[in-house]
Amino acid sequence: MIPMVNLKAQYAEIKAEVEHGLAETIDNCSFILGPNVQAFERETADYLGVKHAIGVASGTDALHLALIAEGIGAGDEVITTAFTFIATAEAIKYVGAIPVFVDIDPRTFNISPEAIERAITPKTKAIMPVHLFGQPADMAEIMQLCAQYQLKLIEDCCQSFGASINGKQTGSLGDAAGYSFFPSKNLGAFGDGGLVVTNNDATAAKVKQLRNHGSDVRYYHDVIGYNSRLDEMQAVILRAKLKRIDQYNQARRRVAHLYSELMADLPLVTPYEDGLGEHVYHQYTLLSDRRDDIMKALQERQIACAVYYPVPLHQQNVFKEECAGLSLPVTESVAATCFSLPICPFLEAASIREIVAVIRGVLLA
């Protein structure tokens, strides 16, 4: 049995540190916005090279609160990708804005800057790229568009913790960014968690207020806010993993490169690194017309595999009416042939070889 992510192996390495931190938190009873959340916010801000990091309850909330803080609201158009997890678009809808889905690059699956430019209207207020599967989007082009058309740039970094472009972390380049600590993410908690990062003091102050019932001073409320704080226990776990994040991401890259090397002669499309930034392989995603046959063979041998994402957002029931008539040919073709293999820092070479042998058996049968 090979799972998509081996969280048990990861835990074995940090168990002592995590147990000590959790026991200390329980002894102190400092459960809400305690010392570990504060320390984690400083440590992630340093790691990511940003002025402010604010812990929140999930990646979805991080994107939602970042959009509010950046002043995106009713009737504003936000250009984004349809080839992503639903939460990217949910956050846009929560603030009453309109997600404008544009097509992707056929090789990286990231949002296409040319497609963004074609979709800009007088109502466009922001661009929300997703660094999909851990590969940085084309930020140089996107930042140029934001400057030229005076648009806000909010990065969805939920899959790209630790990915960088010329030494700068994803999340440090836009006006604000949202991260997720869902357990299977590159930096994952033991439950839900998220983070907003920004270099803007006003945005940071606003997010801090919003995550805590619209309050700066206890029992004084300036706006209607939310209960969206990063949990203190999760911060303990995240601090232990943050220390090792570069090691984890390097191991993910090694896994991905071994997969690609072993499959170089096979008739399928392995992930493409465009070299604009460093890919941290949240997912290892391939294209094949024989996806269903391959997945069936893997499942028969107890090897996990998954399709991220089978239905692009503009074709989801929830957006069907709103996006009627919208055609995104590259997105639709990728969604019809993509599939992802197990990847995590602890996937052993022997397992990778076993997985590739199954795929080889299907394609060269």
Ligand X SMILES: *Cc1c(COP(=O)(O)O)cnc(C)c1O
Residues that bind ligand X (CB under 6 A): 58-60, 84-85, 87-88, 130, 156, 158-159, 180, 182, 192, 194
**244 membership: H or E segment, kind and range:** none
- C-beta nearest to ligand X: residue: 59
Closest to ligand X by CB, 21 or 134: 134
Closest to ligand X by CB, 83 or 259: 83
How many CA atoms are closer than 13 Å to the CA of 247, on its beta-carbon side? Answer: 8
Q: How far is the CB of 83 from ligand X (least distance, A)?
A: 10
DSSP three-state, residue 223 = coil
Q: How far is the CB of 340 from ligand X (least distance, A)?
A: 12
Closest to ligand X by CB, 131 or 294: 131
Q: How far is the CB of 364 from ligand X (least distance, A)?
A: 33
Provide the β-strand partners of residue 341: 284
Closest to ligand X by CB, 148 or 184: 184
**220 membership: H or E segment, kind and range:** strand 220-221
Closest to ligand X by CB, 162 or 359: 162
* 3-state percent helix, strand, coil for the chain, nearest multiple of 5: 45, 20, 40
Q: Looking at 82-186, which runs of residues are DSSP E strands?
A: 98-102, 124-128, 152-156, 164-165, 168-169, 176-180
Q: How far is the CB of 87 from ligand X (least distance, A)?
A: 4
Q: How far is the CB of 92 from ligand X (least distance, A)?
A: 11
Quickly list DSSP for 55-87.
Answer: EES-HHHHHHHHHHHTT--TT-EEEEESSS-TH
- Report the relative pairing of strands 194-198 and 176-180 from DSSP bridges: antiparallel
What is the sign, positive or negative, of the torsion defined by CA atoms of 162, 166, 167, 168?
A: negative
Closest to ligand X by CB, 233 or 262: 233
Q: How far is the CB of 189 from ligand X (least distance, A)?
A: 9
Q: How far is the CB of 88 from ligand X (least distance, A)?
A: 5
The residue whose two tokens read 């803080």 is: 69
Closest to ligand X by CB, 60 or 108: 60
Of 267, 316, 344, residue with least CA distance to 2: 344
